[in-house]
A = this chain, B = another copy of it.
Amino acid sequence: MNQQTLRLYEMKAQIIQAVGQPIRLAILDFLKDGEQCVCDIAKAVGAERSNVSRHLTVLLNAGILECRKDGLKMIYSLRTPCIMNFFSCVADVLKSQLAKNNRVLQKL
Contact = CB atoms under 8 A, between A and B. Distances in A.
What number of copies of this chain does the assembly contain? 2
Interface of A: 1, 5-6, 9-26, 29, 44-46, 62-64, 79-80, 82-83, 85-87, 89-94, 96-97, 100
Nearest to A64: B93
B17 A13 contact: no
Given A22-B9, A22-B10, A15 B63 contact: no
Nearest to A24: B13
B15 A22 contact: no
Nearest to A43: B1
A15 to B, nearest CB: 5
A17 B20 contact: yes
Given A1-B46, A45-B1, A80-B93, A12 B25 contact: yes
